[in-house]
Structure 1
Amino acid sequence: MPKTGRTTRLTAERNVVTRRRWTTIAVLLAATVRSAAAAADPVVFWHNDPVGPDDAVLVSGADLDVVTAARIARIDDAGHVGNATALELLQRTPGSFKFVVPAAFAAGLYRVTLTHAGGEVTIRLNAPVVYWLQAEGGDTVAPGGWLRVFGRDIVRRSERARLRLVPEAAGPPVELAPAQGDLWSARFVVPDAIRAGAYKVEIFNGEGAARDVVEAGRVTVRPRAEAGGRTYDVRAYGAVGDASRDSTRAIASALETAGRDGGGTVYLPRGRYLVSDRLEIPPGVTLAGERTDLVSLVWPDLATPPDALIKGFTRFGLRDLTVYASNHRHVVSGGFTGGDAAEPDSADIEIRRVRIRASAFFGHLRPDEAAARTARLAASFPGQLAPDTLRLSGRRIVVADCDILGTGRSLHLLGARDAVVTGNTLAAGRYGSYEIVGADRLIFEDNRVIGGDLQASGGSFNANAPTVTTSRNIFVSGNTFKGFYGHDREAVTSDAPGGYYLGAASTLAPDTLSLDGEPSDPALRNLPNPERLGVGAVVMVVEGRGTGASGRVARFERSGTPARLRVRLERPLPVALDATSVVTIVKAQSNYLVVGNSFEDTGPAVQSYGTGLDHVVAENRAVRTAGYLVTGLYYHHMQPGWRVQVLDNRILEGNVYRAIHERSDLAFEAAIAVQGLQPSNAPGRPPLVQGVIVRGNRLDEDAHIAVRGYVAASPGVRDVIVEGNTIGASRDGLVVDVGVAGALVRRNTVRRIPR
């Protein structure tokens, strides 16, 4: 992969960890003897799946070097365990090993038994691994509504797969067949006759016996809310849809009345309604047109536009209309109190079948007028350069079947939880993109995401905001990303610079770690409100005992004399840390499922940049993009990439032009690139990327696979499997450099052509 300004030309500010810190850690590691751990039982943290016959499996954990033998057996549909076959353990270390599923096995559910002096440990391959459960109402669903389960191996055999709703009160379980389902997600429809109440949710993916279920979470079935509420016709308040007489006060009066009455629908019949100021939608009110193509709200070229043309705070809707505007600021804003501050209790915002055509560059602007307007936008939105077209925050957000074009970002979500963005066209404007910050349980599917301006870029799912510590449980599927020519051109990327702590840590109690060094984040040094800082961040054990284990921060605190920094975890780590253990604590970016999307004329199609944990990039197609990138680096802090699977993707045309951050690189090959960007040649640094699977990908022309850790003394990449890939005509083919430890490369077909 060609070197890039943001990924391989590392600046001192981003990447230097002081020599003093690492010298101290190296002395600590050298001086410590793991006598107690030598007799410990092995613990498995993670293994990759789905897998089939003749596929390699990586197992990571602790004390795996005490395993004396391993065997594998297939479990049939009755739950019977077949004859076991001995496994050869490859590339063994205390923290990992690899093996290959026997080629003679049939596909299905496998049990692997690890034998050690103290007994046995078993793991199941291809059982459901649930990342999250999401219901139509977040944690609730009404009869006739939907439930969705996301993760790995969710549905393997749809004719047998089932979701089971087990009532927490008395009563028989309710079984549901999937309405849709594959390895990564499944959708179920709740029957009309189900009783209201709390249910435990279990899933069976169709492999093994029907009793082989995995708990998927809990959901509450609530009665279906009855449709109703008054309708307020804006014509009764004096609105005239002739595009010439100002209807602002009439529409605002109808909205205020509906809000005072407790909610309802403010109705706009066919017409073009001239508006000259902000419209505010009260809680419980929906502003609805007769039909998207029949109703438009029209703003003139305002000299001093309001902060948002349409604004609400919580529990409001907008549907079935078109918005036209020029020289605007934000177009639709929901869930923000002012500026970038999110309304803490915002929820239940629905934007459906809305078309927006908002551009500060409409009409016959002279070049000097366009430049002046661009400068004003840049001054008004520093760092962002342009306003948001849809700007929403809160719980249970729906953006569906909309057609959005604005001057800047097409869509900005902040802190969205249980959100659904589906069936939309999202066109970014000048210097625009889309940006989804700090989401948890987000479905982003079947959208068309495009550049509406030659300087528009793609976008990201990130944790890059001061108030955000996590971005997780993200499903990106069935989308088309096309035509990004500005800025970094990234179609789907993660991002969250910085971190909270890097250094030694040890276990004080099952859910408490002592942090034995100084925090990276200055705010942690005094901790006036420790319970408010870093909640939800991820603790990743990068060296020593427990390497590969991770947990989430419940809170930071100081205790003892002298006061020591501690971190309480949401749940205990699978093993206790000791004096050899080193952790990094960073904003969490985990459980991204990027599946079945199409990318054309972008920079990186999918990029895990910095911290990444348990991502899957599968079954995507790319044409003229930089490819699929897994990157761990020092991004103002140590940010590892762990347990990322790149499966069954395709690069149809990899001959690309200026598709990465380094502006001097012009035309080059696309790649599937796994890169751990160690900042120096100093020995003793932990790897930045661990546990990556690159399998079953097809690279047709001018594309290659590169695994690079760069530094032999401190390999940047550890434990990677590259197998079953097909690489067509390529100048680079398949590259694994000296900075990679524990690479298993097998069953690849590579066609090299001369440079």
Structure 2
Amino acid sequence: MIFSKFLQLLGMAGGVTAKRDLTGGITNLTAAGRDVMADLGIGGAGAWIVVGNADPTGAIDSLAAIQSTLDSCGVAGGGIVYLPCGSFKVSNVLLIPSNVVLVGAGMLATKLISPAGQLPGKLVNGGWTYATVSMIGVANAGVRDLTIDHATNSAWCNGVQIGSAIGTLSTDCSVERIRLLGFDSHQYLIWNYRATGTVINDNVVVGNMAPNSVLDMQGIEVYGGHNIRIIGNTLSSVGGGGAILVWEDEIPGSTTDFSNIVIGQNIIDGGRNAISVNPVTTAKNIIVAGNVLSNQTRSGVSLTSTAAAILENISIDGNAINNQVQYGIELNGAGSTAWRDVLITGNAVLTITDAGGRGVSISSASNVNISGNTVKGSSGYSAVLDGAAKILISGNVFDTAALHGMDITGASSEVTVKGNKIFGYGTTTGYGIHVGPADRVQVVSNIFRFGGSEIEAVYSTGTNTTISGNVPDYIPGFQTPFYNQGSGAISNRFWGTKDNNGNIKAAGFVGRVDIAAGYANTNVSPFSLSQFWNNAAVAFDGIVLSISDYGSAAGSKLLQILGGAGGATSYFAIAKDGKIGIGTATPKSALHVVGLPVYASNAAAITGGLTAGAFYRSSADPDLCIVH
């Protein structure tokens, strides 16, 4: 769009007549050019100025020619300074004045090349800047549509700097459609230093750093500031540093919070952390959305804070995060409880490679809603809560983890895990959900599918744990899917998989529906069926068991109750012919009782502990007696 308008302004397309002077002095374009500038939203008096006396071959230093053009445009009230096609050597910092935008012919057509080593730097408003292009203490300045090259000559300097530590703050500046080629060194390729209203859009940042470089390069760093947009950028090869790093650094004397930061639709490949947000005191309205983050050596999105920090209205939404080493999404609150309205929603986290890695990790943080995410393929855990409080985890799919699907530990409290699908857990060893040292954890209405050798869907040693309404989709063999060794209640539904006939089964069972409750060291009923009758005019049947027998084999049973160690002893049986057995699985008469105690008399039976109405044998005739 912009380049096509430049072609018009430079006489390369119809509609505008302009003098194209690339060799001598400054060319001010017509009012038509100023109209186009207004369309682009550029402030100032409206001058279009083409840089002259600059060497497009890069053999001669073009710093003075470009800087004098920028200064002249600023003195005239602002406008656009156009730098045409070519490679321009700049031996020091280019300073862009207020209301001036430096625009190239395109990021592949116009190139600024910095010399080897560190730039001499310039002193501006009492502070030094060492960036190829700087906007210090200015408003409505910008740079667009060109390349800044540190790689060719191994330049050791920053790329674009907006704002500084001291003096007047920069406001409403922009960096758009810039290609930045870094050199393996400590440098910030785009650096917002306490500036406000900055737009960093549609840039391409190539760090050219080794994957595990110990040098701290930042692709884009926001060190303080407010109302920042970082949208549509592509970053790669930033080595050991972060691709986008947002630090809080409160502006001296400012009462404005570190707030209104949007990081969206960026593509980031490589680096340690793709996106890091690190507030120190107060951060509000931070949005990280729609980014594609791949191949980081630590994490895709990292949000960490100090214990004193206040975080409010933070959203991590709709990001695609792939092939991380340690964390997909990491929140670490350092014990702060002043987190409010923190959302992690709709993200896809695929492949965590570290053996202890975590798809989603929440440590020492509170008031977090984790909903609608998919985490698949973790060599460690799908999700971990460690010392977290007031956490809602709902509607997520946690699929395939070598260890626990979810680990809730570290004295976490007030956690609700509801309506999630937890599949393929424990491919090495682990549970669907492990509740360790934790309090007031609710595990409700989740679906589990076993993935490895440890089959417990939920294993809890916490206090006040509620495990209710969950459905294990598949449990191999006669095992305990819900195990509460701490305190709390267990109340869950049957599990199984349907065979080709529509029967619901679990491997190792022969029944059509098998219902089992988990182990608990509290006095809870493994199975309870209740019905409330409240109509005296209607007869009710409490439990109806109807079995149609059209030719079953001899020895078939309508009902059998087993107990004892391993459930191997038959306590009660009803054979297919209606004969009832107590203490035997093969009744031979209408009522067949085995195992009655033997006493010589009624008095002896009472002495032996029987009470009125109990049956016993006397080994005489009559043999069957009733205590009276």
* TM-score (structure 1 length as normaliser): 0.47
Which residue identity lines up with residue 247 of structure 2 in the other structure?
A: V
Identical positions, percent = 24
CA distance in 2 between partners of 1:250 and 1:702 (Å):
60
CA distance in 2 between partners of 1:255 and 1:397 (Å):
20
CA distance in 2 between partners of 1:305 and 1:324 (Å):
17
For 2:76, the equivalent position in structure 1 comes to: 261
Whether contact under 8 Å (1:241, 1:270) holds in the other structure is: yes
For 1:403, the equivalent position in structure 2 comes to: 204
Q: What is the 5 A alignment of 1:231-246? A: 231-235=48-52, 238-246=53-61
**Which of 128, 138, 158 is the aligned partner of 1:330?**
158
**Which of 400, 418, 421 is the aligned partner of 2:230?**
421
Counterpart check, 1:436 vs 2:136: no
SS of 1:431's equivalent?
coil
For 1:7, the equivalent position in structure 2 comes to: none
SS of 1:643's equivalent?
strand
Q: What is the 5 A alignment of 1:94-109? A: none
CA displacement at 1:707 relative to structure 2:
4.2
Q: What is the 5 A alignment of 1:355-370? A: 355-360=179-184
For 2:323, the equivalent position in structure 1 comes to: 601
CA displacement at 1:344 relative to structure 2:
5.3
For 2:134, the equivalent position in structure 1 comes to: 311
Q: What is the 5 A alignment of 1:500-539? A: none
SS of 1:244's equivalent?
coil
Structure 2 residue ranges without an equivalent (≥5): 1-40, 122-129, 210-216, 249-257, 455-628
Whether contact under 8 Å (2:405, 2:423) holds in the other structure is: no
SS of 2:190's equivalent?
strand
Q: What is the 5 A alignment of 1:248-287? A: 248-287=63-102
- The Cα offsets for residues 113-166 of structure 1, whole Å up to 9 and x where unpaired, read as xxxxxxxxxxxxxxxxxxxxxxxxxxxxxxxxxxxxxxxxxxxxxxxxxxxxxx
CA displacement at 1:353 relative to structure 2:
0.6
For 2:341, the equivalent position in structure 1 comes to: 614
**Which of 734, 747, 753 is the aligned partner of 2:445?**
747
Counterpart check, 1:479 vs 2:291: yes
Which residue identity lines up with residue 343 of structure 2 in the other structure?
A: V
Q: How many correspondences in the alignment? A: 368
Query: Could you say what the CA RMSD is over the residues aligned between the two structures, in angstroms?
Result: 2.2
For 1:363, the equivalent position in structure 2 comes to: none
| CA pair 310-426 structure 1, distance change in 2 beyond 3 A | same
SS of 2:142's equivalent?
strand
Whether contact under 8 Å (1:415, 1:440) holds in the other structure is: no
Whether contact under 8 Å (1:428, 1:457) holds in the other structure is: no
CA distance in 1 between partners of 2:275 and 2:206 (Å):
15
Whether contact under 8 Å (1:229, 1:265) holds in the other structure is: yes
For 1:387, the equivalent position in structure 2 comes to: 187
| CA pair 653-742 structure 1, distance change in 2 beyond 3 A | same
- The Cα offsets for residues 433-466 of structure 1, whole Å up to 9 and x where unpaired, read as 13101241111111012226xxx443411114xx
| CA pair 344-496 structure 1, distance change in 2 beyond 3 A | farther
- The Cα offsets for residues 203-225 of structure 1, whole Å up to 9 and x where unpaired, read as xxxxxxxxxxxxxxxxxxxxx88
For 1:191, the equivalent position in structure 2 comes to: none
**Which of 357, 362, 372 is the aligned partner of 1:631?**
362
SS of 1:256's equivalent?
helix
Which residue identity lines up with residue 103 of structure 2 in the other structure?
A: A
Whether contact under 8 Å (1:259, 1:284) holds in the other structure is: yes
Question: Which protein is bigger by CA-based radius of gyration?
Answer: 2
Structure 1 residue ranges without an equivalent (≥5): 1-223, 361-376, 378-385, 500-585, 634-640, 656-668, 677-688, 711-715
CA displacement at 1:342 relative to structure 2:
5.5
Structure number with the bigger relative contact order (C-alpha 8 A, sep ≥ 6) is 1
- The Cα offsets for residues 355-380 of structure 1, whole Å up to 9 and x where unpaired, read as 111214xxxxxxxxxxxxxxxx5xxx
Counterpart check, 1:450 vs 2:256: no
Counterpart check, 1:699 vs 2:398: yes
Whether contact under 8 Å (1:719, 1:742) holds in the other structure is: yes
Whether contact under 8 Å (1:305, 1:327) holds in the other structure is: no
Structure having the larger proportion of residues in strand: 1
CA distance in 1 between partners of 2:240 and 2:319 (Å):
24
Which residue identity lines up with residue 170 of structure 2 in the other structure?
A: S
CA distance in 1 between partners of 2:361 and 2:273 (Å):
20
CA displacement at 1:228 relative to structure 2:
6.0
SS of 2:74's equivalent?
helix
Which residue identity lines up with residue 332 of structure 1 in the other structure?
A: V
CA displacement at 1:741 relative to structure 2:
1.7
| CA pair 227-282 structure 1, distance change in 2 beyond 3 A | closer
CA displacement at 1:694 relative to structure 2:
0.7
| CA pair 695-592 structure 1, distance change in 2 beyond 3 A | same
SS of 1:624's equivalent?
strand
For 2:385, the equivalent position in structure 1 comes to: 674
| CA pair 649-305 structure 1, distance change in 2 beyond 3 A | farther
For 1:45, the equivalent position in structure 2 comes to: none
Whether contact under 8 Å (1:624, 1:653) holds in the other structure is: yes
| CA pair 457-226 structure 1, distance change in 2 beyond 3 A | closer
| CA pair 608-303 structure 1, distance change in 2 beyond 3 A | closer
- The Cα offsets for residues 26-58 of structure 1, whole Å up to 9 and x where unpaired, read as xxxxxxxxxxxxxxxxxxxxxxxxxxxxxxxxx
CA displacement at 1:343 relative to structure 2:
5.0
- The Cα offsets for residues 214-239 of structure 1, whole Å up to 9 and x where unpaired, read as xxxxxxxxxx887861022112xx11
- The Cα offsets for residues 242-287 of structure 1, whole Å up to 9 and x where unpaired, read as 1212211100111111122221211101111111111111122111
For 1:491, the equivalent position in structure 2 comes to: 300
For 2:46, the equivalent position in structure 1 comes to: 229
| CA pair 451-630 structure 1, distance change in 2 beyond 3 A | closer
